[in-house]
């Protein structure tokens, strides 16, 4: 039986990073940049007001020492104009004058400071300064943010809101980035019907293709939910070959465990190598992984039980997707929390117990309530997983967790 670490290393080594493509910056959030983006112009490109106020010479209101022979500065100056943001009309400031300016407005020539509105009497024809302002204060100088030739966004960086903003600031409409890995989700099983049909005796809805597709999308993948694949072996092979040609990851539900999976596995073995060694974990011990097709596409086989399938996704498939996206930390955050109830785990297997994670209002300590695997609670029911926002990680040598024990807890998707 393979350990969780061995299986995870086996899987992440097979991650495929898609070839970079030019993507509109509006669609690039969360992707990894594949080029070094340099600025060809300074940012900002002109001196501008950093705050609403009055453009002045600092020396005229006592912000700087007057030159020899000049009179002491006055705190009251005539307002000779107004410059809004976006103005394209040049304006020259004369000594002992003020110009009303707004945030982002180009600074008049000779002005070297902006007197904040709050520091004045807000006069319209004449303004009185209640305190001085120094030269350069509340002014965005040319190139303060970026100089020509500066690297705005580095290759290998993840394109978050700040990086998207910088790309827009240097005038880029597109960026070379690694696209989201394409993940195809299929389900096999004669008992399955799609949710737009009424199941008959012995039939159940195809839950896994919807749940796994949602999980893959949440992980950052470009997802194609194929749905239920059925038919003769030749037809099954055609479906699989089509999806291998359009995917960086293939996830097949219902292809392990039980006699119904035998026919599917025969076809899979014709397309590549599939390893179905058991993994020392629960739920989800029965699973498979291999590299199929000419491009050796990472392919996962998960059981038909939705809880087992989603746990396998969380522990193995999600990290592979995150590695393909270039994420530096492919795994969820793990915290230490104090258990609130009794939890049972199988000996010799690492337990992943769905749970509800909370914080103590007074101490801010993490508290966790086991949902699946708790005493008297079935581990295979999907309803319990829908209530979970975390999973408790139980070591292989531990079979019982008691109230007050401190355990490792994985965050899951945050629920509002």
Phi, psi of 129 (to 5 degrees): -85, 130
**What CA–CA distance (Å, rounded) separates 319 from 330?**
5
Among the ranges given (82-96, 374-388, 392-406), the one the predictor scored with the smallest mean pLDDT: 374-388
Domain 4-18+180-325 and domain 21-43+144-178, same fold? Reply is no
Question: 4-18+180-325 has which CATH code?
Answer: 3.40.980.10
Structure tokens at 154: 């580095």
**What CA–CA distance (Å, rounded) separates 71 from 66?**
7
List of residues 6+ apart from 141 with CB closer than 8 A = 44, 47
What single DSSP character describes residue 237?
A: H
> Which of helix, strand or coil describes residue 259?
helix
What single DSSP character describes residue 91?
A: -
Among the ranges given (170-179, 224-233, 282-291, 308-317), the one the predictor scored with the smallest mean pLDDT: 224-233
What number is the average pLDDT over the span 283-296?
93
Cβ-contact 16, 181 below 8 angstroms: yes
Instruction: Label residues 275-287 b or e (16+ Cβ within 10 Å = b).
Output: ebeebbbbbbbbb
List of residues 6+ apart from 165 with CB closer than 8 A = none
- Taking all residues of the chain, what is their mean pLDDT, rounded to a whole number? 89
Superfamily of segment(s) 48-136: Molybdopterin biosynthesis moea protein, domain 3. (2.170.190.11)
Structure tokens at 80: 């000779």
CB neighbour class for 112 (10 Å; exposed up to 12, middle 13-18, buried from 19): buried
Domain 334-411 = CATH 2.40.340.10: yes
What number is the average pLDDT over the span 23-51?
93
Q: Which CATH class is domain 21-43+144-178?
A: alpha beta
Digit-coded pLDDT (tens) for 313-340: 999 999 999 988 887 778 888 999 999 9
Among the listed residues 347, 262, 30, 64, the one whose alpha carbon sits nearest the alpha carbon of residue 159: 30
CB neighbour class for 232 (10 Å; exposed up to 12, middle 13-18, buried from 19): exposed
Cβ-contact 271, 241 below 8 angstroms: yes
Domains of the chain by residue range: 4-18+180-325, 21-43+144-178, 48-136, 334-411
């Amino acid at each position: 039986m393979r350990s969780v670490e061995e299986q995870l290393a086996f899987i992440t080594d097979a991650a495929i990073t898609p070839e970079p493509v030019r993507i509109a910056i509006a669609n690039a959030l969360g992707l990894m940049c594949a080029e070094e983006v340099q600025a060809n112009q300074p940012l900002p490109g002109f001196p501008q007001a950093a705050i609403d106020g009055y453009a002045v010479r600092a020396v005229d209101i006592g912000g700087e020492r007057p030159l020899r022979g000049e009179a002491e500065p006055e705190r009251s100056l005539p307002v000779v104009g107004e410059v809004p943001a976006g103005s394209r009309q040049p304006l020259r400031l004369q000594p002992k004058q003020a110009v009303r300016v707004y945030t982002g407005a180009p600074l008049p020539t000779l002005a070297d400071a902006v007197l904040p509105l709050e520091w004045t009497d807000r006069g319209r024809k004449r303004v009185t300064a209640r305190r001085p302002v120094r030269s350069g204060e509340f002014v965005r100088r040319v190139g303060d943010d970026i100089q020509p030739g500066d690297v705005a966004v580095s290759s290998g960086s993840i394109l978050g809101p700040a990086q998207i903003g910088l790309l827009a600031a240097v005038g880029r409409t597109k960026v070379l980035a690694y696209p989201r890995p394409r993940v195809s989700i299929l389900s096999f099983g004669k008992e399955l019907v799609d949710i737009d049909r009424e199941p008959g005796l012995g039939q159940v809805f195809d839950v896994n293709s919807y749940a796994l597709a949602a999980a893959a999308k949440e992980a950052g993948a470009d997802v194609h939910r194929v749905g239920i694949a059925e038919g003769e072996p030749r037809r099954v092979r055609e479906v699989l070959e089509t999806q291998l040609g359009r995917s960086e990851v293939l996830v097949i539900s219902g292809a392990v465990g039980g006699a119904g999976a035998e026919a599917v596995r025969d076809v899979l073995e014709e397309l590549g190598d599939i390893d179905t060694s058991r993994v020392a974990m629960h739920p989800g011990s029965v699973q498979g992984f291999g590299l199929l097709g000419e491009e050796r596409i990472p392919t996962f086989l998960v059981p038909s039980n939705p809880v087992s399938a989603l746990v396998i996704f969380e522990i193995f498939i999600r990290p592979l997707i995150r590695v393909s996206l270039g994420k530096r930390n492919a795994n969820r955050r793990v915290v230490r929390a104090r258990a609130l109830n009794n939890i049972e785990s199988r000996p010799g297997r690492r337990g992943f117990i769905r749970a509800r994670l909370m914080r103590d209002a007074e101490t801010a300590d993490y508290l966790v309530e086991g949902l699946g695997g708790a005493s008297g609670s079935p581990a295979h029911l999907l309803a319990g997983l829908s209530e979970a926002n975390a999973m408790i990680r139980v070591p292989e040598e531990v079979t019982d967790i008691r109230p007050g024990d401190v355990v490792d807890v994985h965050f899951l998707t945050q629920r509002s």
